[in-house]
Each structure stands twice: as C-alpha cells, then as structure tokens.
Amino acid sequence: MKNQYVRSNEPIVWSLFGAGGMLAAFLLPVLMLVTGILVPMGLVGDDVFSYQRVLTFAQSWLGKLILIATISLPVWHGIHRFYHGLRDFGQKKGRKLTFYFCYGFAAAITFCTAVLLLLL
C-alpha cells in the first residue's frame, strides 16, 4: 500500500495566518490606543515615547523581533484572507500564479522589514 499523504505548504501558511490574526486582534488595538490617543492627549508621560527611547528599543534584538512580528504577521493574515477571498469569488484561472504573487508579496514585506530593521 502506497503512502497517500501529499506534502502541502498549508500548515505554514495557516500558522502565519493564525499568528497574524491573534496579533491583529489583541495587540494592534492597544498600540493604536496608546500611540494614537493616549500619548497625543498627554495622558501618558512625554518621555515614555521619546525619540531616543523608541530608537533604543528598535535597535535592540528583542525590539527588532517584536517590530518584525508586529509588522509582518498582520500582513500574512491579510494576504491569506485576500487570497481565499479571491477563491471565494470564483477566481479559477491562474490559481498557482495568484498563490505565488500573494504569498510572495507577504514574504517580500517580511524580508524588507527585516533588512531595514537590521540596518538600523
């Protein structure tokens, strides 16, 4: 009896989708609240988000990992939703090309983010 399992890249894509969804649901609203409302209104100390503190955070290895995850995982989540939305709307031709274009775009965003943060 032959092995009937077929290799698939879906577990990797679904894990990035899930991580991006979790990050978008739990962390991004808090970041928008703090950086978009509380800091401009002066409810949080001025020195908390000073340029020097944010730069120091972005230059540390932990800060770089957090920033890469915060930027790239929601992109993977959105691209996965976009790709499956196209399939739901009946996009049949060029499925493989669309797959490579969508996930290639997310990979390029992740790569560019990592390179730019490593140059910082």
Q: What are the pLDDT digits (tens) for 21-73?
A: 998 899 989 989 988 899 888 888 778 888 899 899 999 999 999 999 999 99
Q: Residue 55: what pLDDT?
A: 92
List the one residue out of 100, 120, 118, 111 whose CA is nearest residue 71. Answer: 111
DSSP-assigned letter for residue 116: H
Q: Residue 44 burial (CB < 10 Å; 0-12/13-18/19+)?
A: middle
Query: What is the average pLDDT value for the chain, to the nearest integer?
Result: 89
- Half-sphere exposure (CA, 13 Å, Cβ side) for 77? 14
* Cβ 77 vs Cβ 17: under 8 Å: yes
Q: How far apart are the first and last CA of the chain?
A: 55
Q: Which of the four pLDDT bands, split at 50, 70 and 90, describes residue 11?
A: confident
Domain ranges, ordered by start, for the chain: 10-119
At the top level of CATH, which class does the domain 10-119 belong to? mainly alpha
d(CA 19, CA 86): 21
Entry pTM: 0.80
Q: Residue 78 burial (CB < 10 Å; 0-12/13-18/19+)?
A: middle
Helices (H) and strands (E) in the chain, counts: 5, 0
Q: Residue 1: what pLDDT?
A: 58
